[in-house]
Amino acid sequence: MSRIDLPSLASAAQDEVARQMSICNACRYCEGLCAVFPAMELRRVFEGPDTDYLANLCHNCGACYYDCQYAPPHEFAVNVPQALAELREESYARYAWPGFMAPVFERNGVWIALAAGLSVALFILGFALWSDPGALTASGNFYAVMPHNAMVAVFAPAFLFPLVAIALSLVRFWRLTGPTPGLTFAALRQATRDAATLRYLDGGGMGCMTQSERPDTWRRRFHHLTFYGFLLCFASTSSGTIMHYVLDWPAPYAWWTPPKLFGVPGGLGLVIGAAGLIWYDRARDGRLRPAKQTGMGAAFTWTLLALGATGLALYWLRETPAMGVLLAVHLGTVFAFFITMPYGKFVHGLYRYAALVRHAYEQKRAHP
Amino acid sequence: MSWDVLIAGGGNAALCAAIAAAKDGARVLVAEAAPRAWRGGNTRHTRNCRIAHDEGNGILTGPYPVDEFMDDLMRVTKGRTDEELATLTLEKSKELWDFLEDQGVRFQPSLGGTLSLGRTNAFFLGGGRSMLNALYRTAEDAGVEVRYDTRVAALDIEDGFFKGATLERDWQNGGPEREEVTARAFVAAAGGFEANIDWLKEAWGDAAENFLIRGTPYNTGGVLRQLLDAGVQQVGEPDQCHAVAIDGRAPKFDGGIVTRLDCVPFGIVLNAEAQRFYDEGEDFWPKRYAIWGRLVAAQPEQVGHVLIDAKSINLFMPSVFPPERADTIEELAGKIGLDPAATRATVDAFNAACVPGMFDHAAHDDCRTEGLDPPKSHWARPIDTPPFYAYSLRPGITFTYMGVRVNADARMVMEDGSVSPNLFAAGEIMAGNVLGQGYLAGIGMTIGSVFGRIAGERAAAYVSN
């Protein structure tokens, strides 16, 4: 891993956050809204890594923008959600491993869309070329189209590489934001609770204000559906793997087996949640978004929607001749999702979780 | 157009009046002179209101009985208050938590650095602008019509009876759009006149040119002037206001809370001639915060300079502008435009007069000066550890107290002592009834909410009769 002296290279986005935080720190009216402001109050100066930490602690609920007496057109021009969103996207690139992948965050939407389109096309082409043409339109059996061992050979590296890349990125992020002597499981527990409940995506109790100064809870609900839907889908795949290797019980599985019991509600959650987020975000106040559009958020949500939709389609249409093509589209989407995971919006959850752990740790030490 | 109740202003008092009147069935028009982004007058800069309560409620600690509230008010005003209205305000303040919560306002524990207010003041979650947003949402849902960029340019008042008004829409752009409106009652909740420098000069002379206005530039007193001209009785003196010493680099208007400086007790304050002029360590800062505006206003060029050293730089709330910094007193003096030799002499005299003691910024410690005039009674430590820091101070006017006299119904009292049937007032424009001088943190909002509510209810009752 290369060693870069990041603190000495404060970016414009970091400087802007530091500027705004020094105003917020003298005001503190937003203290009760979320974690960002209590974390800010523990600091008097804001170095680059501090700002990256605060940026990833922010859930972009928007409340502090509408509540701010210094928001534009005030000459102090405080717009914390936007400044932190801009820095957040920038920080993903800063901590990405390997470093040469960082530029793909610049025009992330295009990159993810290309990766997904190519993956799907390759799977269709691959199936058409390598499997028995009859199997492609034969219904029911996935492994007739792509043998199980071939699936594992393709997906194991596609899954393992992102895990390594993300883990290394996370370590860089964690180290640069400072040492945490005496970190305990209590901080992890607190952070897990805060993340699982999206505690800070609610404007301090009033609800998000991402469309206007009228708070609502839709964004939080759709996010919950998406996140828990995703976890259920993951549980579905994991249980399938266990059944295959440990129980020696190969697919196809009946509707009452764990892969289906997890997978169907998971897919539904993913589809409704992601579609909801896409619908909701259309009316999002543009002032809360980064001025520089990378398409990162939209690309990620659309990928999740595609994951859920193609998975469900496969479940319902597997007994039809469409199965082979659907399987190719679904596997292509999954493949693209995996390989782009470390270089897109997926990482927001991990950095935010890391920031929540640090926050729980810091608050416990500051206010024992 | 014809309305039941016309309200001038768009802050806490105006909105409380609008909501109260609308919920009692009145058709309400609010004329807010500011554009939507600047709506709400000084409420946007507030953070809490002081409320009496008989027991804590989980966010507000401990009891704050009306009697204690009254003692506090009497102490700061030195008795310059209308006791009947003061008692009414404090009694009714007990209802404000529930009333505001019903309108969608949320509260939070007292903010970091304001623990001294945790018992007496209810802090708005997200601050005053958040509170305002909740009031506007509720008012809109109750059918109140709000016009922004619209000022009340003329009032049609005959013998203390309100008949109608001329509104000017888009008045900041050359040719305003005029509209005559009639209404059966009028609520004046348009704030004080602190943003009207010419008016301030009538009371303060040319010194007012150097005042900074901490809040909205829209409180120019237009409605107040019209009411006084129409024969409404004046209350309070024009030079009475909530004036604090703020960072001299603050914007002329709307600097708000971030321009305050809490470092005075830890250093010495010099005027433009490099001389000290008041006991910086007389008492804890929250208790002296509100006298330093007037102290600085009385100095040449209305400026002060706080000098502190490295020992004290982290003892107070961070401020929005970084201090001037230097390794020697002379260099620092040069940077802030003071005579280096004179500054050195003042610092030396102060340092020599400091009696050794146990410094404790949380108590009235025994660090004081001996044989120095003026003395520094507490927290006096020699300024001898570089780097040295300086902040400049200017008077920051929060709001003025002179206004219209009202009775317990929030009805305006005319010069001849008669009471208008349909002219009401709430907020800063009548705060002088309760606050003749001095200041108590959060009481401006208390007066605004209490009288806003009364004005709205009485106006609606008058209209329905």
Q: Is residue B214 within 8 angstroms of chain A, CB to CB?
A: no
CB count in 10 Å sphere of residue B37: 10
* Residue B30 near residue B144 (C-beta atoms within 8 A): yes
Q: Which domain holds residue A300?
A: 102-353+362-366
Question: Is the peptide bond between A73 and the residue preceding it cis, with omega within 30 degrees of 0?
Answer: yes
| Domain membership flag for residue A5 | no
In chain B, the domains with their CATH numbers are 2-238+401-464 (3.50.50.60), 243-396 (3.90.700.10)
User: What pLDDT score was predicted for residue A131?
Assistant: 72
Bridge partner list, B413: B419
User: Does residue A152 share a domain with residue A272?
Assistant: yes
Output the CA–CA distances (angstroms, integers) from residue B191 to A28, B75, B121, B205, B399, in the order listed.
25, 25, 22, 22, 8
Spatial distance between the Cα atoms of B158 and B166, rounded to a whole number of angstroms? 15
A28 interfacial to chain B (CB closer than 8 Å): yes
Domain boundary among A95, A120, A147: A95
Burial of B363 by CB count in 10 Å (0-12 exposed, 13-18 middle, 19+ buried)?
A: exposed
Residue B387, preceding bond cis, omega within 30 degrees?
A: yes
Tokens of A190: 């607190």
- Least Cα separation, residue A205 to chain B (angstroms): 8
A173 and A195, same domain (yes or no): yes
Domain for residue A69, yes or no? yes
Is A28–B113 a contact, with Cβ atoms under 8 angstroms apart? yes
> Residue A27 in contact with residue B46, Cβ under 8 Å?
no
Alpha-helical regions (H) of B255-335: 285-288, 292-297, 329-335
Strand partners, A97: none
* Domain's final residue, options A95, A121, A153: A95
Question: Does A259 lie in the same domain as A300?
Answer: yes
Residue A7 lies in a domain: no
Q: Do B319 and A26 touch (CB under 8 A)?
A: yes
Give B129→chain A minimum CA distance, Å. 5
| A228 shares a domain with A135 | yes
pLDDT value for A2: 45
A50 three-class SS: helix
Chain A residue with minimum CA distance to B43: A69
pTM attached to this predicted model: 0.94
Name the residue in chain B with its Cα closest to that of A23: B320
pLDDT-flagged residues of chain B (< 50): none
Four-residue CA torsion sign, A47, A53, A55, A57 = negative
Please indicate, yes or no, whether residues A18 and A141 belong to a single structural domain of this protein: no
- Contact status of A281 with chain B (Cβ, < 8 Å): no
pLDDT value of position A252: 81
Instruction: Give the position of tokens 């900041």.
Output: B172
Q: How many domains does chain A have?
A: 2
Longest dimension (CA), chain B: 74
Cβ neighbors of B36 (< 8 A, separation 6 or more) are B148, B149
A34 and A150 inside one domain: no
Q: Are residues A64 and A149 part of one domain?
A: no
Q: Give the three-state DSSP class for B114.
A: coil
Q: Which of B325, B330, B343 is nearest to B273 (CA)?
A: B343
Give me the phi and psi of B65, to 5 degrees please: -65, 155
A69:B38 CB<8 A: no
Question: Cα(A119)–Cα(A155) distance, rounded to whole angstroms?
Answer: 12
A221 belongs to a structural domain: yes
Last residue of a domain, one of A95, A113, A129: A95
CB-CB contact of A89 with A83 (8 Å): no
Same domain for A188 and A269? yes
| A74 and A184 part of one domain | no
Same domain, A194 and A70: no
CA distance A289 to B21: 39
Q: Model confidence over B227-240: pLDDT tens digits?
A: 999 999 999 999 99
Question: Closest approach of chain B CAs to the CA of A67, in angstroms?
Answer: 5
For residue A85, the distance in angstroms to the closest alpha carbon of chain B comes to: 20
Residues of chain A with pLDDT under 50: 1-2, 6-7
B-chain residues near A38 (CB < 8 A):
112
In a domain, A235, yes or no: yes
Q: How are beta strands B304-308 and B241-247 bridged, if at all?
A: unpaired
Do A205 and B111 make contact, defined as CB atoms within 8 angstroms? Answer: no
CA distances A274 to A115, A219, B177, B261, Å, are 19, 10, 47, 48
Per CB-CB distance under 8 Å, the chain B contacts of A22 are 318, 320
Note whether residue A301 is domain-resident. yes
- A2 within some domain: no
8 A C-beta contact, residue B51 and residue B20: no
CA distance B258 to B382: 28
Are A224 and A199 found together in one domain?
Answer: yes
Tell me: do A83 and A66 sit in the same domain: yes
How many angstroms away from the CA of A64 is the closest CA of chain B? 7
A25: nearest CB among B47, B128, B318: B318
Joined together, the tokens standing for residue A133 give 């043409």
Q: Residue B390's beta-bridge partner residues?
A: B307, B324
Contact call for B112 and A31, based on CB within 8 A: yes
Count Cβ atoms below 10 Å from residue A151 Cβ, excluding itself: 15
CB-defined contacts A:B, below 8 A = 89
Of A38, A44, A206, the CB nearest to B106: A206
Integer angstrom CA distances of residue B233 from B227, B229, B408, B433 = 9, 10, 15, 11
